[in-house]
Amino acid sequence: MTTSDRPRPLKEAARITQMLDQVFGTDRFNREPVDVAALAVEYSRRVAPESPIHEVVERNLPGCVGALVYSDVQPRQWAIMYHQEQSPGRRAFTIGHEFGHYVLHRPLIEQGVGFDGGIYCDEDSVIRRGGAGIEKEADEFAAALLMPLHDFRRRLPAKDRPDFDLLSRLATRYGVSLTAVILRWLEYTETRAIMVVSNEGFAHWAKPSQAALRSGRYIRTKDVVYELPAQSAAARADYSNEARQGIAQPANVWFPESVLEMCLRSDRYDQEIILLHFENDGPHYEAEDESKDVLDLFVDRGRTVTR
């Protein structure tokens, strides 16, 4: 099965979204988020009565956050497992991701080499949305299903710069984590912004908006240690209301230009979520090859992180 033969994530998510809109109304998110565990069980019975998802269960999955597993018998019987101790928001996205594998990839997982009884997914693939190939497809499916853009963009237009209060309300609306909401917003925002997830003064991972990336504003965390600027709220462990609302950082704290830094502490995960908002469109670096990932291009040119 090649990539082009496989069901497309956004198309499949849109199909189910349309069905839910018809059944529960287009204003359904005013009442409740998608009940993705119940949906996965019911939908699978409908589209594959011989080979449905029987249960969605909590398990101890060391090193993984979720899994889609199948039985030895034919036709295959399926189950979604999620790692214990996830917040309800993280759990919803994890289940959505595994449901995505079921809808999009089950022939591949069932027959493919390298899958032993199912597919197991780690934090980088699910929480950070950092995976490639079928992992990326499962993330796209989950994001589109749980946070449909037509509803999301109405609440957070592409030119707006949201604060944590608005983002938290959206996390409640869609029943997902704050980071999942921010990653969704970063996909379509026209503003320049970066999310940084940090702990004890170091960035764990970071994600720029497309506009930020195009202007050369991003933070590399892969294979390098990125120490937060000493003057940043997160490095100073300033978790005050002021830091949450946003602190104007002058040029050369984070980048050669000024930036509005918002910082929120999560005790549950022992980490900070930092949002960096840039003022304007900023400098433009012309990409030589639009088809190539802009970040790769910068790396190819030997650019390093600008501080």
How far is Cα 85 from Cα 2, in angstroms, rounded to an integer? 36
CB of 127 to Zn ion, least distance (A): 11
How far is Cα 209 from Cα 120, in angstroms, rounded to an integer? 28
Q: Which two tokens stand for residue 199?
A: 């702990």
Radius of gyration of the chain (CA): 20
Complex with Zn ion: residue 56 or 138, whichever CB lies closer: 138
The count of other CB atoms within 10 Å of the CB of residue 26 is 14
**What is the number of the residue whose Cβ is closest to Zn ion?**
121
Q: How many Å from the N-terminal Cα to the C-terminal Cα in the chain? A: 45
Residue 279: HSE in the Cβ half-sphere, 13 Å Cα cutoff = 12
Q: How far is CA 263 from CA 52, 67, 221, 239, in A?
A: 43, 32, 18, 7
Complex with Zn ion: residue 80 or 294, whichever CB lies closer: 80
CB of 52 to Zn ion, least distance (A): 19
CB of 250 to Zn ion, least distance (A): 42
Q: Are 198 and 272 in contact (CB under 8 A)?
A: yes
How far is Cα 68 from Cα 15, in angstroms, rounded to an integer? 21
Complex with Zn ion: residue 138 or 262, whichever CB lies closer: 138
Residues making contact with Zn ion (CB under 5 A): 121, 135, 138
Complex with Zn ion: residue 64 or 235, whichever CB lies closer: 64
Taking CA 189 as the corner, what is the angle to CA 243 and CA 247, rounded to the nearest 5 degrees? 15
Q: Which two tokens stand for residue 5?
A: 């033969």
CB of 84 to Zn ion, least distance (A): 18
The count of other CB atoms within 10 Å of the CB of residue 203 is 22
Complex with Zn ion: residue 81 or 156, whichever CB lies closer: 81
CB of 135 to Zn ion, least distance (A): 5
CB of 121 to Zn ion, least distance (A): 3
Complex with Zn ion: residue 67 or 181, whichever CB lies closer: 67
CB of 97 to Zn ion, least distance (A): 5
CB of 55 to Zn ion, least distance (A): 18
Q: Are 84 and 60 in contact (CB under 8 A)?
A: yes
Q: How far is CA 278 from CA 171, 226, 281, in A?
A: 23, 20, 8
Complex with Zn ion: residue 70 or 226, whichever CB lies closer: 70
Complex with Zn ion: residue 142 or 263, whichever CB lies closer: 142
Q: What is the DSSP letter of 161?
A: -
How far is Cα 266 from Cα 295, in angstroms, rounded to an integer? 29
